[in-house]
Amino acid sequence: MSFMQNGPQSMLKDGSTFVDDPVVKNIQACRELAKITRSSLGPYGLCKMVINNLNKLFVTHDAATILREMEVEHPAAKLLVQASNAMQQEVGDGTNFVVTLAGEFLSQAESLIRMGLHASDIIEGYKKAGNKSLELLEKMTVQNVDDCLVKENVIPAIRTAIASKQYGYENFLADLVAQACINACPSDVRGFNVDSVRVVKLDGESILSTKLIRGFVIGRSTENTLKHLKKAKIAVYSCAVDIPSLETKGTALIENAEDLIQYSKKEEDVMQDIITNIHKSGANVIVSNSTFGDLALHFMNRFGIMGVRVPSKWEIRRLCSAVSARVMNRLDAPTTEDLGTCDAVDVVDVGGKSITVFAQDRDDSKLSTIVIRGATQNVLEDVERAIDDGVNIFKALTKDKRLVAGAGALEMELQKELTHYAESNPGLDQYAVRKFASSFEVVGRTLAEVSGFNGTDMVTRLEVDHNAGKKHQGVNVEDGTTLDALQAGIVDPYLTKYWAIRLATDTVLTVLSVNQIIVAKQAGGPKNRQDQARDED
């Protein structure tokens, strides 16, 4: 009987819960989540084995995948997951950086709360520090990518992104990704679409056997005997290539053998007319979303027309964009506008599996496909994620051409400048600004720790270098020393750092501004029984 209770719960439904002063508990939940993903940061980041609710296994150090499959329940930790998702939408890379940075901001704020500083003072200080760090970031750009269509200009940024997922293969994969993006990029680089770079995964061989194909690849063979074709003209249908069937049921009365022969002959004539009309239009490849009839395949072989089945509607749309074709709903002869063109269509055997390649000889085809090879399905998926990050970095460079130093160099420079800024603040919020600044040390410390070195020693060395005016000194993950990130070619897009700091700051401010959690009673009937208590049904 809720009206007999005291406090806020007296006005809530039975079964509701009320948590007073939850700031520290929220911070602890977010810190634990950040601790999970933080050890996956950098080239030597450790993988996580995640088994989702469908019992599918993921072995990866991609933070976006880990957080998506974990199904986080805590409301405050969910805010960090949402920040990670926002980063994935905005840039497509840097999800781990956002969660790690937000977790460290909150961890530093916890020590201030325990000292007795009010949350509103911390929020005020963090707001000032966040705005100041974005101002400082503008001045810390090291170079611009003048032309995104020149491979040498974009490779350094793509290589840095891929190295954090596939260390050791970054040079090889970065070269492939750069070629694929430039090949599929329109003359106006701002119109680049990340969907223009496709991936086909074929297990077997090693990652170094991965190759780029200018055009579209389908992971299956053709439907008929024709396997190779030059100067293809492609007709695309969303219906079955077969004898048209009536929607209503009918009965054909056949009284003798002559009637049966005539009936079959009529079917053949109809199918022959359809294929003849398609052949006369100039089409020599028919692509269908549905099935091919035996009779249709017979006449297609006779006229030298290749048949390719693409079951996925999504793949059909991608093929149409690659060859400039239109999808037709009826089995009619295509017009000139409906037909797509392609330099060559070939069936290629890769690792014992036949794939059909729609290749363009010219360097500016509208689609690029990277055929990934690898030992296991998990390896293939992890390489795909690395390639996806590389493509998204290219997309970020088409929006903003500025680059900043990587390897933790930028973060240490921000830490130094923000510490100086904190000293110029007279109020209580200077403590929050100082803690905000020291949070940036987490990148250098983590890069050192996951590489097997002492994080505190690394941060001390970096502080000495940056105080001596060496602005681009970062972590050398190979031998635990510092290196000039710019000379080593370790650079990140400006947009990645900008959105990471902004999203992490906004998320932290939201978590710190919560002073009560009210959970309403869950809707619905009784909960499901445990697995072991269920019967066979």
For 89-134, give the secondary structure using H, E and C. HHCCCCHHHHHHHHHHHHHHHHHHHHHCCCHHHHHHHHHHHHHHHH
CB atoms within 10 A of CB 263: 11
pLDDT band at 78 (very low <50, low <70, confident <90, very high): confident
The reply to whether 149-204+375-400 and 216-246+257-361 are identical in fold is no
Of 288-302, 386-400, 523-537, the one with minimum mean pLDDT is 523-537
Q: How many whole angstroms separate alpha carbon 1 and alpha carbon 513?
A: 32
Greatest C-alpha distance within the chain: 106
How confident is the model at residue 15, as a pLDDT? Answer: 52
* Model confidence pLDDT, tens digit, residues 233-253: 888 888 888 776 655 666 777
Contacts of 525 by beta carbon, 8 Å cutoff, 6+ apart? none
How confident is the model at residue 221, as a pLDDT? Answer: 81
Q: How many whole angstroms separate alpha carbon 418 and alpha carbon 425?
A: 11
Q: DSSP letters along 345-366, please?
A: EEEEEETTEEEEEEE-SSTT-S
Range 8-143+406-519 classified under CATH 1.10.10.1110: no
Assess whether pLDDT exceeds 80 at residue 409: yes
| Tokens at 219, concatenated | 């992971």
Q: How many whole angstroms separate alpha carbon 387 and alpha carbon 181?
A: 11
- Contact between 502 and 102 under an 8 Å Cβ cutoff? The reply is no
How confident is the model at residue 9, as a pLDDT? Answer: 55
Q: How many whole angstroms separate alpha carbon 467 and alpha carbon 130?
A: 22
Percentage of the residues of the chain whose pLDDT score is greater than 70: 90
Q: What is the mean pLDDT of residues 327-333?
A: 83
pLDDT band at 21 (very low <50, low <70, confident <90, very high): low
Q: What is the domain partition of the chain in residue ranges?
A: 8-143+406-519, 149-204+375-400, 216-246+257-361
| Tokens at 244, concatenated | 């048209």
Q: What is the mean pLDDT of residues 79-104?
A: 87
Q: How many whole angstroms separate alpha carbon 328 and alpha carbon 342?
A: 18
- Domain 149-204+375-400 in this protein, CATH class: alpha beta
Q: Which of the pair, 2 or 261, is modelled with greater confidence?
A: 261
Q: What is the mean pLDDT of residues 172-200?
A: 85
Q: Indicate if the alpha-carbon torsion angle 306, 309, 310, 313 is positive or negative.
A: positive
Q: What is the mean pLDDT of residues 92-99?
A: 86
Amino acid identity at 346: D
What are the φ and ψ backbone dihedral angles of 477, each rounded to 5 degrees?
-75, -10
Percentage of the residues of the chain whose pLDDT score is greater than 90: 0
| Tokens at 238, concatenated | 């969303």
Alpha helices in 140-167 (DSSP H): 151-163
Distance of CA 435 to the CA centre of its chain: 32
Q: How many whole angstroms separate alpha carbon 390 and alpha carbon 383?
A: 11
State the pairing for strand pair 482-484/402-405: unpaired
| Tokens at 347, concatenated | 């069936």
Q: What is the CATH number of domain 216-246+257-361?
A: 3.50.7.10
How confident is the model at residue 2, as a pLDDT? Answer: 46
In the chain, the N- to C-terminal Cα span, in Å, equals 38
Q: What is the mean pLDDT of residues 54-64?
A: 83
How confident is the model at residue 306, as a pLDDT? Answer: 87
How confident is the model at residue 525, as a pLDDT? Answer: 58
| Tokens at 276, concatenated | 């003849």
CB atoms within 10 A of CB 398: 18
pTM of model > 0.85: no
Contacts of 250 by beta carbon, 8 Å cutoff, 6+ apart? none
Q: How many whole angstroms separate alpha carbon 320 and alpha carbon 340?
A: 7
* Model confidence pLDDT, tens digit, residues 455-500: 888 888 888 888 888 888 888 888 888 888 888 888 888 888 899 9
Q: Which class for 3: exposed (0-12), middle (13-18), buried (19 or more C-beta within 10 A)?
A: exposed
How confident is the model at residue 18, as a pLDDT? Answer: 44
Q: Which class for 389: exposed (0-12), middle (13-18), buried (19 or more C-beta within 10 A)?
A: buried
